């Protein structure tokens, strides 16, 4: 099974032919830039069969394309302007006094609470916190997925730093098993080293006399990609291609860390004993944005919610298929969910994360709620009118129907670094 391969690439034949081996990749370069597209890319190989990746810059961060505020002003900055700040995740607040009175202009990072809500303090083994209120999404509904009991915004009483409190049910044995698996996954990722594109767990605890366990996670004040898409729809604006590239690059960086246990900038120092972690729920709801720790004018992109994450052993046992059926979003199920293997357990794994990452970029570009595989099959998943041939090419490759034809996260990240257009 390909999940147990020690190589970061699918197979030696895939390595030999590089990314050009993907059927259907556009053979033509981007005419506007004259550079190669995804089909023409070749993976450089060395004696060990591994590929080299760009190293970090002098500040220790992965180099990213930096855009000026003027260049970016029509992009993400508009979507989080004060006119639309109420669309971002926020806390419950009271209704406005009258229809004719507009709410006061607020910063995109400012939180609002219900005036009648009394913040409550609670202690964990490490700190004392104040619970401010339950998190809402961009449409004003409470943020709560199929595998949690609620998400709250909290702050430490000593330094006022905000965090997320995520409650996970533990009533049934299956719930306790998944809660333990999510905590273990986040703890493994944290101990493997820092990755700025994965949501960080700060602590976990059991409150006592409750039917849930709690995780304390980093807070992303700009909301999710789902909220970003909703804002763009309301504003009648397209997602800037530069931001689509930024999100794809960041998600691939997170997936490299999950799949291989190392930051892409330190690839040669990877741990050969790392057990692959497959997310299996990469979608706009689980990708968050924050200006904390961002480089330049673009927000930092953070992959979160590891409630469906599994190891290769879990996949072999059929746990991945069971999770996808019970907790997966139907329209986000990859093609392998329908094309079952002989043992009836499906062929989920690293390639599933790649397909969902491509689907996320497609929904950002087309401003839809779910992927459209038929557009990917036609080699124009993002649309040919507003987006370049290169972006369509790499997204279509990620969304290949056949699992073995999809590139790895390492290949995608390296190609983006070498060939993304300067926009």
For residue 196, give the CATH number of its domain.
3.30.200.20
Residue 3 lies in a domain: no
Give, for all 423 residues of the chain, the pLDDT tens digit. Answer: 444 444 443 333 332 333 444 444 443 444 444 444 554 443 443 333 333 334 444 444 444 343 343 444 444 444 444 444 444 444 444 333 444 444 333 333 333 444 345 778 999 999 999 998 888 765 556 665 555 668 889 999 999 999 999 999 898 888 898 899 999 999 999 999 889 999 999 999 998 888 899 999 999 999 999 999 999 999 999 999 999 999 999 999 999 999 999 988 787 778 888 999 999 999 999 999 999 998 889 999 999 999 999 999 988 888 888 888 777 788 999 998 876 544 445 578 999 999 999 999 999 999 999 999 998 888 899 998 899 999 999 999 999 999 999 999 999 999 999 888 886
Helix (H, G, I), strand (E, B) or coil at 294: coil
213 and 230 fall within a common domain: no
Q: Is residue 344 part of a domain?
A: yes
Q: Flag whether 385 is in a domain.
A: yes
Question: What is the three-class DSSP state of 130?
Answer: strand
Is the same domain home to 210 and 300?
A: no
> Domain of 333: which CATH number?
1.10.510.10
Q: How many domains, the chain?
A: 2
Give the pLDDT confidence score for residue 4 in this predicted structure.
46
Sign of CA dihedral 7, 12, 14, 18: positive
| Same domain? 180 vs 252 | no
Specify if 74 maps to a domain.
no
Q: Please enumerate in sequence order all residues whose Cβ is within 8 A of that of 70, keeping only pairs 6 or more positions apart, or say none.
A: none
Residue 367 maps to a domain: yes
Q: How many residues does the chain have?
A: 423
Contact 170, 176 (CB under 8 A): yes
One domain, residues 266 and 161 = no
Model pTM score? 0.73
Domain enclosing residue 303, as ranges: 223-418
The answer to whether residues 265 and 394 belong to one domain is yes
Same domain, 249 and 309: yes
Phi and psi angles of residue 249, each rounded to the nearest 5 degrees, phi first: -60, -45
In a domain? residue 71? no
In terms of domains, do 153 and 235 share one? no
Instruction: Among 193, 218, 243, identify where a domain stops.
Output: 218
Is residue 212 located within the same domain as residue 229? no
Same domain, 136 and 250: no
Are 240 and 182 found together in one domain?
Answer: no
**CA dist., res. 232 & res. 225, Å (int):** 10
Q: Are 167 and 150 in contact (CB under 8 A)?
A: yes
The predicted pLDDT at position 17 comes to 37
- pLDDT at residue 350 in the model: 95
Among residues 170, 195, 218, the one where a domain terminates is: 218
Q: Is 49 part of a structural domain of the chain?
A: no
Question: Which of these three, 189, 218, 247, is where a domain ends?
Answer: 218
Q: Tell whether 266 and 206 lie within a shared domain.
A: no
Q: Considering the domain boundaries, does residue 328 fall inside one?
A: yes
Q: In this structure, are 329 and 387 located in the same domain?
A: yes
Beta bridge partners of 167: 150, 214
């Amino acid at each position: 099974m390909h999940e147990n391969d020690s190589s970061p690439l699918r197979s030696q034949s895939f390595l030999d032919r590089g990314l050009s081996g993907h059927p259907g990749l556009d053979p033509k370069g981007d005419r506007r830039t004259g550079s190669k597209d995804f089909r023409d890319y070749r993976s450089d190989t060395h004696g060990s069969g591994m590929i080299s990746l760009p190293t970090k810059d002098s500040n220790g961060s992965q180099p990213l394309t930096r855009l000026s505020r003027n260049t970016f002003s029509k992009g993400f900055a508009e979507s989080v302007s004060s006119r639309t700040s109420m669309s971002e995740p926020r806390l419950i607040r009271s209704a406005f006094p009258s229809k004719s009175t507009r709410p006061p202009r607020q910063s995109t990072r400012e939180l609002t609470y219900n005036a009648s809500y009394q913040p409550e303090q609670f202690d964990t083994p490490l700190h004392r916190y104040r619970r401010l209120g339950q998190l809402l999404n961009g449409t004003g509904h409470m943020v709560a997925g199929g595998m949690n009991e609620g998400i709250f915004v909290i702050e430490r009483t000593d330094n006022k730093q905000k965090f997320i409190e995520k409650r996970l049910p533990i009533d049934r044995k299956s719930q306790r098993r998944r809660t333990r698996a999510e905590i273990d996954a986040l703890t493994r990722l944290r101990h493997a080293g820092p990755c700025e594109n994965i949501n960080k767990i700060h602590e976990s605890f059991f409150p006592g006399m409750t039917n849930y366990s709690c995780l304390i996670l980093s807070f992303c004040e700009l909301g999710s990609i789902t909220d970003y898409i909703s804002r763009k729809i309301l504003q009648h604006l397209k997602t800037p291609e530069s931001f689509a590239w930024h999100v794809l690059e960041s998600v691939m960086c997170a997936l490299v860390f999950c799949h291989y246990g190392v930051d892409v900038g330190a690839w040669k120092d990877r741990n050969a004993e790392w057990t692959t972690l497959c997310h299996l729920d990469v979608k706009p709801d689980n990708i968050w944005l924050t200006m904390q720790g961002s480089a330049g004018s673009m927000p930092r992109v953070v992959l979160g919610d590891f409630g469906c994450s599994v190891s290769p052993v879990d996949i072999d046992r059929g746990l991945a298929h069971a999770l996808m059926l019970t907790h997966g979003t139907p329209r986000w199920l990859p093609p392998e969910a329908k094309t079952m293997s002989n043992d009836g357990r499906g062929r989920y794994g690293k390639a599933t994360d790649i397909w969902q990452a491509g689907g996320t970029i497609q929904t950002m570009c087309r401003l839809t709620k779910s992927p459209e595989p038929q557009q990917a099959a036609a080699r124009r998943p993002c649309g040919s009118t507003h987006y370049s041939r290169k972006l369509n090419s790499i997204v279509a490759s990620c969304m290949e129907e056949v699992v073995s034809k999809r590139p790895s996260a390492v290949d995608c990240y390296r190609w983006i670094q070498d060939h993304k257009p300067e926009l």
